Structure 1
Amino acid sequence: MDASKLIDGKAFAQGLRARVAAAAAELQARHGFRPGLAVVLVGDDPASQVYVRSKTKATEEAGFHGVEHKLPASTTQAELMALVARLNADPDVHGILVQLPLPAGLDAAAVVATIDPRKDVDGLHAQNVGALWSGAEGLVPCTPLGCVLLLKDRLGQLAGRNAVVIGRSALVGKPIAALLLAENCTVTVAHSRTKDLPAVCRQADILVAAVGRAEMVKGDWVKPGATVIDVGINRVPTPDGKGRLVGDVAFAEAAAVASAITPVPGGVGPMTIACLMRNTLTAACRIKGVPVPAV
């Protein structure tokens, strides 16, 4: 395929993380504080452990103050809520991330609701969700934010474009729709009950797939010249037993007709942690009452 069609999320994320690190160093020099991020991991879910290691490494590389709390799967709801309350009160912590999913028996919604909205760097608290949809100041979920940053970098002005988002989850689909509306796109949110989904997708100048079904979106679903953002990460079996990662979009088919497309891996994935660092920087500046750097 034409390499110019690839939207290189890995390269963009590296640049964003470098800009965040430079801004953090400037905050330390000018104002005497470092952004602080606390990550809470409950239990021993292997995927969550990998994510937390990556987030911890990114925190160190950004020059942030990092705090990691690893709790056993036997942790009670009350113990977890008490930890969040302590982090809310810690003046050196500006961002709190409780790694999801939580072990069975723990109420994730109640935990998220306990996080100080100013420190909710995942953008999941109801106050931040409301701020996103109403256009008020808040913190935006990292993956959707990363998708929109990639789109603006590739396309420039998004206003007036038809966008179709496949998926309506609170983590990705709904926030991406809100962000695209804020960019003055005309947005359709499609899902499992949508009639003639391929025909709906073919109307999209911007097609975002966030459903968690391997290669569901076929090449003939894509409007010629469209920009495709593939949020899906699915492991499919291979003869050697190791498996391989694919997105929600049949990449080779879609790339043949799209003008630009994110690969999996190396597209949206790296943007999530980069935007977590960006959100933590933003939260720290707002809490401390200093201007948020343009990164």
Structure 2
Amino acid sequence: MAAANKPDYPGRLLQATAIAKPFQESIEAEVRKRKEANLSVPKLVGILAKPNPPSIAYAEWTRKACTAVGINFEIWKTWDDADEASNVEQAADQEKSDSLQNFGLEADVEDLILAANRDESVDGVMIYYPIFGGRQDTYLQQIVDPRKDVEGLNFYYCWNLYHNVRWIKPSHLGNAPGTTSESELLNDPKVAEKGQAPEGYAKSILPCTPLAVVKALESVGVYDLKLPYGNRLYGKTVTVINRSEVVGRPLAALLANDGARVFSVDIDSIVEFDKRAEQGSPRNTGLAKSERVRKAHEENTKASLRSSHVVRASKHSDVESCVRESDVVVGGVPSASYKVPTSWIKEGAVCINFSSEKNFESDVRSRASAYLPIIGKITVAMLQRNLLRLVEYKGIAQGQK
């Protein structure tokens, strides 16, 4: 009998540990196989720009998770541990100051990134963001070598995500958009049926937290495996309450690329992401199209280079209407006061929270069929999985299996 203060809700309480476990076991087995074959053990470097306690704690947690599966992990810091207390105090003062830029710190982080790029023993690089926010962080993301970018934040991977490029040739890493034709592979019936990379290709890198949400949805059967690969969310409606460039927007694109109708909610707007049914004509901007634009549109359409989803203003102007229609609700608002009312949740919906704060009321499982309150362990497993894929890239590029 359930305790009086703990109602026996019908919805399942999902555990990130259980969802991450098969990925961790697969990663551990792959690392062990490399050791037995006398191949190098994958090495990941985490770069800490500031001695902020949450970032330090996350870095240590990443270290433990990597140690558990046999991955070598090093933390590179911009400060001297011998004077850490003073550095923590200075970092707190910097956070409170009106200065939006610290060019000395940016240069230090850049030096560490470039050193990791050059170090042949390093297979993967991650940076603990946010550091500055805005364009400075974007700049730092772009100087990470895409062959070592475990977070999938380099523009090369972002372009692949938004254009549904799922397989790449390692030799094409970092090429300019439109210069390769990997997009066309999704239209190959053999590839579409199995969802496996053709010979000489490998899966593209995806950002870790959005990918973790996808894997969580797969684990509870939201993805319909009877449908063709790349369309297994057909008929599903999803609300994502967050449109950050790191998580919310790429997540909405990933889900739309798999066939879902996605309401993307931000602080001041609601837009819809839908899979593109057909390439159609160039978007109407109110101007007569030049012949060059029309020709470019036709050529890009033939090469499958246009975005695989469309984004438009939503017919809904409030979050409640979106949530009530949704089979899946994803919360990502970094505020303890923000809660999605349980009364809005569609009966039987799946709810996932990736924010550090709980975005759902405590009784969410009275209506939701499943609820995942934290996702961190799945995110780290995806980070490690990306690292092994980068190692795979290196092997393919060198003519190895």
Q: Is the 8 A contact 1:209 1:231 kept in 2?
A: yes
Query: 2:351 matched to which residue of 1?
Result: 228
Match of 2:63 among 56, 62, 65: 56
TM (norm. structure 2) is 0.64
Could you tell me whether the CA contact under 8 Å between 2:11 and 2:368 is conserved in 1?
Answer: no
Q: Which residue of 1 aligns with 2:33?
A: 26
Kept in 2: contact 1:36–1:284 (CA 8 A): no
- What's the CA shift string for 1:189-244, capped at 9, x where partnerless? 1222342210111110111111223342110221111111111222xxxxxxxxxx
Percent of residue pairs identical:
27
Shift in CA distance, 261/36, structure 1 to aligned 2, threshold 3 Å: same
- Return 5+ residue gaps in structure 1 as ranges: 235-246
What does 1:116-135 align with in structure 2 at a 5 Å threshold? 116-135=145-164
* Residues 99-138 of structure 1 aligned to structure 2 (within 5 Å): 99-102=128-131, 107-136=136-165, 137=167, 138=204
Q: d(CA) in 2 for partners of 1:105 and 1:208?
A: 24
- Matched to 1:30, the amino acid is A
The aligned runs of 1:43-82 (5 Å cut-off) are: 43-72=50-79, 76-82=105-111
**Equivalent AA in structure 1 for residue 333 of structure 2:** V
Aligned to 1:259: 369
**Paired position in structure 2 for 1:207:** 329
Cα separation, partners in 2 of 1:21 and 1:48, compared to 1, 3 Å:
same
Per the TM alignment, residue 259 of structure 1 is displaced from its structure 2 partner at its CA by 0.9
What does 1:238-277 align with in structure 2 at a 5 Å threshold? 247-252=358-363, 254-263=364-373, 267-277=374-384
Q: What is the total number of aligned residue pairs between the two structures? A: 275
Counterpart contact for 1:205–1:223, Cα < 8 Å: yes
Q: Which residue of 1 aligns with 2:239?
A: 164
Closer, same or farther: CA 18–56 of 1 in aligned 2, 3 Å = same
Structure 2 unaligned spans of 5+: 1-7, 80-90, 92-101, 168-203, 225-231, 271-316
Using a 3 Å threshold, how does the CA distance of structure 1 residues 106 and 191 change in structure 2: closer, same or farther?
A: closer
Is the CA contact (8 Å cut-off) linking 1:207 and 1:226 kept in structure 2? yes
RMSD: 2.3
Higher RCO structure (Cα 8 Å, ≥6 apart): 1
What letter is aligned with 1:261? Answer: Y
Larger radius of gyration: 2
Rounded Cα–Cα distance in structure 2 between residues aligned with 1:207 and 1:110: 32
Query: Which of residues 205, 208, 214 in structure 2 aligns to 1:139?
Result: 205
- Are the counterparts in 2 of residues 118 and 139 from structure 1 also a CA contact under 8 Å? no
For 2:53 and 2:135, how far apart are their aligned partners in 1? 18
